Amino acid sequence: MGKKVFISHSSKDSKTATAICTALEARGHECWMSSRDIKPGENFQGTIVRAIRESGVMVLVFSANANNSDEIKKEMALASQSKKMVIPVRAEDVLPSEDFTYELATRQWIDMFVDWEKAIEALSSQVGAASPKTDTGVRPDVVVAPPVTRKSNAPVVAVIVALLLAGAAAAYWSSHKSAPTPAVVTSAPPAPAAATPIAQPQAAPESGSNAQLESQLWDSVKDSNDVSVVQSYLDKYPNGTFTAVAKARLEALKNPAAKPRSAGSSMDADIAAMYKRARANAVDTSALADEQSAWLARRASCGGDPGCLRQAYAARRAELSRWITGGD
């Protein structure tokens, strides 16, 4: 049995998480869930940290409840620190908030609400590729080769008997004749035949080759307008198949003169830069993220009204300036 699958989920989605856990365990993947596996009296936070560190892969059950959960954001950060692969599955048709978009930009989503059986099979396949199972039992269809150390001793015994008889005959004739008798020459026993080596079973090829994982990562970032998202591919595969294309895409994003931007996209870029500085300066980033989400809703309510949009951007710049200069 391989390492356990850590099921990250909101406590409000325990039924959905339990169904996913049951389906994975039915396919041979042992799972760990806080709602099921933390024993009474155990330290909640310490047990979760240890479970993530000892897991083979994390499955994130994403929903509207998870989208607003600070605990799940902490579990995602712990998984990143432990270099654990995170496989996100959407239990509902919900778009992730900015924090989750940043964390999951390069990962492939699996939608559980479209075709449950197909999604579970896809999830099981990805879990197996990320944390392959190890089978220590002997399968009934495998024939175990007999040990090669047991061999018939008949040839050796025959040679020893011949030597003893020859020695006895020489002693008899030497005791009855004064003349020396020719020495009895015996041939050395034949060297035992070399044991035929037992063919060792070859390891099964890993599910999901590096080329497939690289292709999936590129497909998820190639159309992004975020420099950091495209850069994440180059950081992972500096000499990969799509390195030249990724560098060209990165250069196009970094060179604003190569692609004219509208006034709206220019203001979006300014707000994005200020938001990044504010996150670096903030003590409580969750409050900043909530404020950003509220502003996005206000901006969306403007529709195409230029005056409303200018007022919304000006207000947001003032708010972010406060975060940048004064923290919380």
**DSSP classification of residue 31:** E
One domain, residues 322 and 245: no
Q: What are the tens digits of pLDDT across the range 16-35? A: 999 999 999 999 999 999 98
From the centroid of its chain, how far is CA 189?
59
In-domain check, residue 148: no
Range of the domain at 238: 210-259
Cα(102)–Cα(73) distance, rounded to whole angstroms?
Answer: 11
Q: Do residue 290 and residue 221 come from a single domain? A: no
Residue 63 pLDDT: 93
Six-digit token string for 248: 């060209």
Q: Are residues 51 and 111 in the same domain?
A: yes
- At 32-90, the pLDDT tens digits run 999 899 999 989 889 999 999 999 999 999 999 998 898 998 999 999 899 999 999 99
End of a domain among 130, 152, 173? 130
126 and 56 within one domain:
yes
CB 97 within 8 A of CB 45: no
Angle, helices 44-54 vs 70-81, to 10°: value is 40
Q: Does a structural domain hold residue 188?
A: no
Q: What is the pLDDT of residue 44?
A: 84
> In this structure, is residue 250 part of a structural domain?
yes
What pLDDT, on a 0 to 100 scale, did the predictor assign at position 188?
53
Answer yes or no: do 225 and 308 share one domain.
no
> Looking at the structure, do residues 78 and 30 belong to the same domain, yes or no?
yes
Distances (CA, A) of 36 to 14, 49, 50, 60, 93: 9, 16, 15, 16, 26
For residue 198, the model assigns a pLDDT of 46
Specify the number of domains making up the chain. Answer: 3
Distance CA 76, CA 216 (A): 20
Domain CATH number, residue 63: 3.40.50.10140
User: Are both 254 and 233 inside the same structural domain?
Assistant: yes
Last residue of a domain, one of 241, 259, 277: 259
Answer whether residue 179 is part of any domain: no
pLDDT at 266: 79
Residue 11 within any structural domain of the chain: yes
Do 247 and 296 lie in a common domain? Answer: no
Would the pTM of this model clear 0.85, i.e. be above it? Answer: no
Is the Cα dihedral 254, 260, 264, 266 positive or negative? Answer: positive
Give the pLDDT means over successive 10-residue stretches in the chain (328 positions). Answer: 88 93 95 93 90 94 91 90 92 84 74 91 92 50 40 56 65 55 51 49 50 82 84 87 84 69 70 90 85 87 89 92 79
The set of residues, in sequence order, having a beta carbon less than 8 Å from that of 26 and lying 6+ positions away, is: none
Q: Are residues 52 and 9 in the same domain?
A: yes
Looking at the fold, whether 300 and 217 belong to one and the same domain comes out as: no
* 250 plus 295 within the same structural domain: no
Residues 120 and 227 in one domain: no
In a domain, 89, yes or no: yes
CA-to-CA dists, residue 143 to 22, 138, 140, angstroms: 33, 9, 8
Strand duo 57-62 + 110-111: pairing = unpaired
Q: Within a domain: residue 62?
A: yes
Residue where a domain terminates, one of 130, 164, 190 = 130
Asked if residue 183 is part of any domain, the answer here is no
- Helix crossing, 210-221 with 227-236: angle to 10°? 170
